[in-house]
Amino acid sequence: MLLGSLLLLVSGCKPASVSDTDTASEAEVEEVVESEPKVEATPTEEPEPTPTIAPSLTPMTILLEDDFSDAASGWERYRAYDGVLDYGEEEEIYQMLVNAEDNLFWVMKDEDLMDVTMSVEVRLVGGPEGSLFGLMCRYDLNVMDAYFFLISSQGEAGIGTSDFGFEPIPGGELTAFDAIKTGLDVKNTITAFCMGEVLTLSVNGEVLFDLPATDLISGDFGMAFAPPKGVGADVYFDNLVIYAP
């Protein structure tokens, strides 16, 4: 059909069976066909990913609350030439006054716990601002060691163990943080998490360290102080709260 139409057009003749009207109609049909918009396939929208919901924290129970207003609440009471580990005489606080240098001192509660969360308000009231103070967990009497979560009034913090002083664990080296308020007699709130294989240190609500535990599995908890040099370093602890699963 196409070949016959082409030969007639070349010779200048129309086929007898095709009228002018028919030809116009065909042209119109072709025009309509050509003007029809192309329908493009609608792209399939990818579903938005469902956000991952973090697992809720393990429910915690308050194991101990102490504002140190009761001197019979069970913490060590020691007053001698080399320092003071005792309840405050003028304020309702727990005082650690250490007249020694390059050492690590602590007081503890005899509770063999693996998982524990601790919070305490602390302020250095005298002595070198590089003094370290804070919390401890998993004290093992057999090796006389624990995990220590310490800060200084110079704005540094770290997590470590004891080697006749503060010995940082990998990743827990002393580091300066803006979250720590600096200066003497300035209060910071320290929160320490000993949960399974994770050790976390938070100060004033900001997480500073989140590290894997190394060797210590369980043990006692308490408060710690490490003056780096000089004598007369003095720190006050207040509003201690201990949580356990």
CATH for 61-244 is 2.60.120.560
Q: What is the pLDDT of residues 180-227, one digit of tens each?
A: 999 999 999 999 999 999 999 999 999 999 999 988 888 899 999 988
Residue among 200, 199, 204 nearest 178 (CA): 204
State the pLDDT at residue 99.
86
Q: Domain residues of the chain, as ranges?
A: 2-35, 61-244
Q: SS3 string of the chain?
A: CHHHHHHHHHHCCCCCCCCHHHHHHHHHHHHHHHHCCCCCCCCCCCCCCCCCCCCCCCCCEEEEEECCCCCCCCCCCEEECCEEEEECCCCCCEEEEECCCCCCEEEEEEEEECCEEEEEEEEEEECCCCCEEEEEEEEECCCCEEEEEEECCCCEEEEEEECCCEEECCCCCCEECCCCCCCCCCCEEEEEEEECCEEEEEECCEEEEEEECCCCCCEEEEEEEECCCCCCEEEEEEEEEEEEC
Percent of the chain clearing pLDDT 70 (strictly above) = 75
What length is written for the chain? 245
Q: Residue 58: how many CB atoms within 10 A of its CB?
A: 12
Q: What is the pLDDT of residues 75-92, one digit of tens each?
A: 999 999 888 999 999 999
**Could you tell me the CA-to-CA distances from 162 to 5, 58, 145, 171 in Å, in that order?**
103, 29, 6, 16
Residue keyed to tokens 């998982």: 115
State the pLDDT at residue 143.
79
With 60 as the cut, is the pLDDT of residue 41 above it? no
State the pLDDT at residue 45.
53
**Could you tell me the CA-to-CA distances from 69 to 91, 134, 221, 236 in Å, in that order?**
8, 20, 20, 13
Token pair for 185: 């007699």
> Rounded CA gap, 128 and 57, in Å?
38
State the pLDDT at residue 59.
63
State the pLDDT at residue 218.
86
Residue keyed to tokens 């704005």: 155
Residue keyed to tokens 């063999």: 112
pTM: 0.74
> Rounded CA gap, 79 and 127, in Å?
18
Mean predicted confidence (pLDDT) in 124-136: 93
Q: Are 13 and 5 in contact (CB under 8 A)?
A: no
Mean predicted confidence (pLDDT) in 152-161: 95
What's the chain's average pLDDT? Answer: 80
Residue among 149, 153, 180, 152 nearest 162 (CA): 149
